[in-house]
Amino acid sequence: MRILGIDPGYGITGFGLIEAERGQSRLLHCGAITTPAGMDFSARLEIIYEDMRQLLETTKPDAVAIEELFFGQNVTTGIGVAQSRGVILLAIRQAGLEVTAYKPMQVKQSVVGYGNATKHQVQDMTKRLLKLQKLPKPDDAADAIAIALCHARSSTSLLAQAQNGGKL
């Protein structure tokens, strides 16, 4: 199964494509969609949407996983990320794909085994699980890979199999 993980943002949207088979995963491609800081916000959203459409078309994932929004101290930034996430979800839907959202704590629990793991712990474990020589850059791409790994582990669990009538 080819899984595209997405870490949404409006300055940087990270993505990571993995292939997961029988409990083993390997990294196929990762990177980021970026937009210039001084650009009109609606133009930034258009870039994110168009680049996401192209990414989905070229990578042809079987599944897409995205991080759920977490509003911390800066609500203004959160609103911009929410708008970016909206155009990403639209591109995914128009591509005819289903998307699964994961809370940051779920990703940490799945990848590290501890829901309050640090960003560094998640990235280090991602590197180990995929047997990578170095951490993927930018950090947003590494986060997206962790989201894809979370989906790989969640979608192949016994509970997921039971909910899908024994099929993956």
Catalytic annotation, pick one of 19, 50, 51, 140: 140
Catalytic annotation, pick one of 50, 67, 68, 124: 67
Catalytic annotation, pick one of 7, 19, 124, 139: 7
Taken in order 44, 46, 51, 56, the sign of the CA dihedral is positive
Per the annotation, the verdict on 98 as an active-site residue is no
Per the annotation, the verdict on 67 as an active-site residue is yes
Per the annotation, the verdict on 143 as an active-site residue is no
| Catalytically active residues, by annotation | 7, 67, 140
